[in-house]
Amino acid sequence: MASILNKHHKGKVYFGVKDNGEVVGQNITGNTIREISQVIASNIEPKIFPKITKEDINKKSCVYVQFEGNNIPYFA
């Protein structure tokens, strides 16, 4: 995410989708979105506040993370 922000100032990441685009899904519990948010907040500086949602793609649950920032450079 940090490198995407440094180059494009915004981006998106799907958890549950392979690099080749194959949707494999993700086990999403009640804490999944909170845990992802905490990991991002703990590891990317300067802080970003991504939008994290559950998305169903091809009947499989995935986590969709949208993020943006203009305070480059970002690091993780």
User: What is the tens place of the pLDDT at every residue in 13-61?
Assistant: 999 999 999 999 999 998 999 999 999 999 999 999 999 999 999 999 9
Q: Give pTM, 2 decimals.
A: 0.87
In a domain, 21, yes or no: yes
In a domain, 46, yes or no: yes
In a domain, 64, yes or no: yes
In a domain, 7, yes or no: yes
Local structure of 47: helix, strand or coil: coil
The pLDDT of residue 71 is 95
In a domain, 74, yes or no: no
In a domain, 8, yes or no: yes
In a domain, 73, yes or no: no
In a domain, 75, yes or no: no
Query: The domain containing residue 47 runs over which residues?
Result: 2-68
Greatest alpha-carbon span in the chain? 38
Number of domains in the chain: 1
- The residue type of 35 is E
